[in-house]
Amino acid sequence: MKRFFAISLSILGLFSLKGGTQSDSDELKATNPIIWADVPDVAMVRVGDTYYMSSTTMHMSPGLPVMKSKDLVNWKLVSYAYDTLADNEKLRLENGNNAYGAGSWASSIRHHNGIYYVSTFSATSGKTHVFTTDNIEKGEWKERSFEPVLHDHTLFFDEDGRVYMIYGAGDIRIAELTPELTGLREGGVHQVIIPNASRVASEKVGLPAEGSQMIRHNGYYYLFNITWPPNDMRTVLVHRSKSITGPYEGKRLLRDRGIAQGSIIDTPEGNWYAYMFRDYGAVGRIPYLMPMKWENDWPVLGIEGAVPDRLDIPAGEQLGVWGIVASDEFNRMPGDDPLPLCWQWNHNPDNRCWSLTDSPGYLRLTSGRIDNSPLQARNTLTQRTFGPESAASTFIEVTQMKNGDYAGMIALQKRYAFVGVKKENDRYAVVMINGEGEKPVEVASIPLNQNGVHLKVECDFRDRTDKATCFYSLDGVSWEPIGNTLQMAYTLPHFMGYRFGLIYYATQETGGYTDFDYYRIDTHITER
């Protein structure tokens, strides 16, 4: 560390979330999952030889991430469509309110007449949002929003110049927008186009059909949805019609391990693929890539009804997503972005209470209010966990904490694990808090008699083990487990895979702070 002691460690800027497999011809082939991290609800567009993909991060800020690829296997995180979605009590975590499991949901991404469009919707803001830019990687995003909230919509520019959103759950609807995409077009098309769209998979309705994504191909409009029949799994549906308003005919398209909801995309060479996510326990919803072909003007996904684990396409480096997770020493040169794109705040940050310049080389988090739970603490800085196993570590300096303050790391979901320092009666202790039950339990407390401590959280997602273990170190070399093992769980109230988080909050008085020296990730955990 910078003040306490020094350890040499190179920054992990290019990080692999998944490897390939060697074929008989010694060519490395891509394998599923392409990205073993929470990247759900993917929407895709190809512009020339470049693919762009948007995804869901809900209550995180900045939000609506955009990634690019040249080969559908190796992706780079290049932008977010917004810094903050809205400014209200839920997104500020005020008065007991929160936007867990809400924020912005499934998006749509388009390129039309030189402009990129990324749209989403939000019950938290009460609006449908459309973000535009002429430079998707480095340009500024402009926002327009309107009511009502159009659930799980797909934005669609038709060949006659009219623009629509197809949306809904169960009954799938179409809404015509103004040419400027500022709202519903007065007197335009607004009707149900597919009543009870789930019926093609099951007469019994569980999760109604939703997650709309539309394309036009060979004279047909194709609308892709997902449904979840009772006592079954997520299932992909497709409906087609010669007219955008119908009538539509539909069929069940894929039923394999719950892999569903996403987009289909063609390559410049004319090959077709589909990207869809799979629920994979506590790590979240992870993307799978599969081949697709056309038979009798119907799409056919996978191979003989299944998504292959090994793909017959080159893996390249198969990095997953470059920059989706990364180590950070918090050293910044003039002109650097304050926070790389790998970082997202849990809800909207209070920018008065964090700094990378107050103590250069450190992230400083300051308490600006009183909170009674780490889940309500503002300015928790997060990155995704990742599979099959992952770890994150940090060092915190504690001398400026106030009584009642907590500083450290969190495995963030409704059922959380916290490891860090608590200051009480002018004394410091390293503590582990298990938030698995309705009431969090301080499982361990060890006196701390130096000005800082190294902390680590390890996550095991192999075979959906979903266990998190906390560690501390007084010297950064020898690590000791602390507390007990958290049985992680993907809960619907949070509706997101686990995150590693750097956290600081006060329970008695404001104004204290802690400095985080580094954030380092690892692909290996301690075998116990």
pLDDT of residue 2: 58
Burial class (CB in 10 A: 0-12, 13-18, 19+), 242: exposed
pTM (2 decimals)? 0.94
pLDDT of residue 31: 94
- Domain extent at residue 394: 344-522
Would 305 be classed as within a structural domain?
A: no
- Distant-in-sequence, close-in-space partners of 270: CB < 8 Å, separation ≥ 6: none
Region of residue 57 (phi > 0: left; psi between -120 and 50: alpha; otherwise: beta):
alpha
CA distances from residue 142 to 103, 115, 145, 262 in whole angstroms, order as listed? 19, 11, 10, 25
Preceding amide of 33 cis, omega within 30: yes
Mean pLDDT of 229-252: 96
Would 334 be classed as within a structural domain?
A: no
CATH number of the structural domain spanning residue 359: 2.60.120.200
**Does 510 lie in the same domain as 423?**
yes
pLDDT of residue 18: 57
Q: Is the pLDDT of residue 15 over 60?
A: no
Name 366's bridge partners.
Answer: 513
CATH number of the structural domain spanning residue 178: 2.115.10.20
The CA-CA-CA angle for residues 98, 117, 119, to 5°, reads 30
pLDDT of residue 12: 33
Query: pLDDT for 309-360, tens place per residue?
Result: 999 998 887 665 668 999 999 999 998 999 999 999 999 999 999 999 999 9
* Percent of the chain whose predicted confidence (pLDDT) is above 70: 94
CA nearest to 244, candidates 174, 312, 301: 174
CA distance 214 to 390: 36
How many domains is the chain partitioned into structurally? 2
**Does 505 lie in the same domain as 415?**
yes
Name 406's bridge partners.
Answer: 422, 505
Query: pLDDT for 128-174, tens place per residue?
Result: 999 999 999 999 999 999 999 999 999 999 999 999 999 999 999 99
CA nearest to 499, candidates 348, 388, 421, 386: 386
Instruction: Please name the amino acid found at residue 321.
Output: V
DSSP 207-274: EEEEEEEEEEETTEEEEEEEEE-TTS--EEEEEEESSTT---EEEEEE-STT-EEEEEEE-TTS-EEE
**Does 211 lie in the same domain as 111?**
yes
Would 8 be classed as within a structural domain?
A: no
Reported confidence tier of residue 523, pLDDT bands at 50, 70, 90: very high
Query: pLDDT for 111-134, tens place per residue?
Result: 999 999 999 999 999 999 999 999
Reported confidence tier of residue 207, pLDDT bands at 50, 70, 90: confident
Q: Which of 245, 265, 300 marks a domain boundary?
A: 300
Least confidently predicted of 220-224, 350-354, 522-526 = 522-526
**Does 483 lie in the same domain as 353?**
yes
Residue position matching structure tokens 């019609």? 241
